[in-house]
Amino acid sequence: MSTVEKSFPVSWEQFHRDARALAWRLAGMETDFKAIVCITRGGLVPAAIIARELGVRMIETVCVASYHEYTEQGRLQVLKGVSEELTADGGRNVLIVDDLTDTGKTAKIVRDMLPEAHFAAVYAKPMGRPMVDTFITEVSQDTWIFFPWDLGLTFQAPISKDSKG
């Protein structure tokens, strides 16, 4: 997270709308995806929504640990790779799904496993943007996205320091 200056909280409703918007974009493509590979954990929720909308029944996970303590990106570690069935042809007609591409480091690891796959993310930051084929919203690199599964209901301070509430 290093020099994060902005926060972007996303509600369940907004995330669902954005994931469905991503599904609409993908549905307009000429590709019939045979499988979805979601990058855990963040890709699980959008993958479920997109799989439903596109009628894809085969869902695989690739497990890459990257964020530690929510403060900085640590060393990347592949905890679980992708099945040989999906990597055999480089991932042709496979859809990779993630919630966010931040620095692009996780995306690169997965792209190396499935170089022929189509990569889609709900949100993209400038550093990670070149790694994805399709996304919905770009946010600045210094923005931290707070996903609904990471949040509880708490008071939010006003943006202006002069605001009296």
Q: Output the pLDDT for position 65.
A: 87
Q: Output the pLDDT for position 162.
A: 67
Residue 103 is labelled as binding a ligand: yes
User: Could you read off the pLDDT of 63-79 as tens digits, one per residue?
Assistant: 998 755 555 566 899 99
48 domain residue, yes or no: yes
Residue ranges in the chain assigned as alpha helix (H):
12-27, 44-54, 84-87, 105-113
Identify the active-site residue in 32, 102, 112, 162.
Answer: 102
1 domain residue, yes or no: no
**pLDDT surpasses 60 at 1:** no
* pLDDT confidence bin for 56, thresholds 50/70/90: very high
* pLDDT confidence bin for 153, thresholds 50/70/90: confident
Determine how many CB atoms are found less than 10 A away from the CB of residue 7. 11
Identify the active-site residue in 18, 99, 150, 162.
Answer: 99
Q: What is the CATH number of the domain that holds 45?
A: 3.40.50.2020
Tally of domains in the chain: 1
Question: For residue 85, what are the domain limits?
Answer: 6-147
111 domain residue, yes or no: yes
Kindly state the helix (H) or strand (E) to which residue 134 belongs, with its residue range. strand 134-138
Residue 3 is labelled as binding a ligand: no
Q: Output the pLDDT for position 4.
A: 56
72 domain residue, yes or no: yes
Phi, psi of 107 (to 5 degrees): -60, -40
Residue 99 is labelled as binding a ligand: yes
123 domain residue, yes or no: yes
Residue 41 is labelled as binding a ligand: yes
Phi, psi of 45 (to 5 degrees): -65, -50
Check if 102 is active-site.
Answer: yes
Global pTM value:
0.87
Query: Between 130 and 160, whose confidence is greater?
Result: 130
Residue 101 is labelled as binding a ligand: yes
Least confident of 18-22, 32-36, 127-131, 156-160: 156-160
18 domain residue, yes or no: yes
* pLDDT confidence bin for 147, thresholds 50/70/90: very high
Check if 162 is active-site.
Answer: no
162 domain residue, yes or no: no
Question: What is the C-alpha separation between 122 and 65, in angstroms, rounded?
Answer: 19
Mean residue pLDDT of the chain comes to 91
User: Could you read off the pLDDT of 85-118 as tens digits, one per residue?
Assistant: 999 999 999 999 999 999 999 999 999 999 999 9
Check if 98 is active-site.
Answer: yes
Handedness of CA 43, 15, 153, 69 (dihedral sign): positive
Identify the active-site residue in 89, 98, 150, 162.
Answer: 98
